[in-house]
Amino acid sequence: MSARPFDLHDPLPEARTTLVEASAGTGKTYTITGLAVRRVAEHADPLSSLLLVTFTRAATAELRARVRSSLVAAEAHLARPRSDLPVEDPVLAALDDADDRERAVRRGRLATAIAEFDTAGICTIHGFCSQVRVAMGVLSV
């Protein structure tokens, strides 16, 4: 019996820690980006409270770029009046699953995340460990 594939339109995982593990080219960056956008918009998690970790500097740069562009796209989507046409993007469709007042609140959260994007914790595993060492007062020699 196989597990049902993860769908970005489904309710978000309750766990505060989510591990996205899959082979190359399967959509990990897309999934992490969608989860981050939804956590910010739906759960009022400040972008600075999220930690998005990947392996390489190139992957980190790609993740940063995609998260930022997805935040901008989601905010722009919620700025437009709701349409009767189906929304193809599962993240945007999930954000639309709210009344107009909640959509406005979500849009405000996204706008704040865009303005505070430099506080985003998007880094390599090595970069994260270095930040922890510095925070703990452990210096490299």
Q: Do residues 95 and 56 touch, judged by C-beta distance below 8 A?
A: no
In this structure, what token pair is assigned to residue 127?
């970069």
Quick: pLDDT tens for 113-137. Answer: 999 999 999 999 899 888 888 889 8
| Domain-located, residue 17 | no
CA dist., res. 110 & res. 126, Å (int)? 28
Quick: pLDDT tens for 78-109. Answer: 999 998 899 999 999 999 999 999 999 999 99
**Angle 100-115/28-43 helices, nearest 10 degrees?**
120
| Domain-located, residue 19 | no
| Domain-located, residue 45 | yes
Give the rounded percent of residues in the chain with a pLDDT score beyond 90: 60
Q: Which domain holds residue 42?
A: 28-135
| Domain-located, residue 89 | yes
pLDDT at 1: 45
| Number of domains observed in the structure of the chain | 1
| Domain-located, residue 22 | no
pTM of the full predicted structure? 0.86
| Domain-located, residue 124 | yes
CATH of residue 59: 3.40.50.300
| Domain-located, residue 88 | yes
Lowest mean pLDDT segment, chosen from 7-11, 36-40, 98-102, 116-120: 7-11
Question: Mean of the per-residue pLDDT values for the chain?
Answer: 88
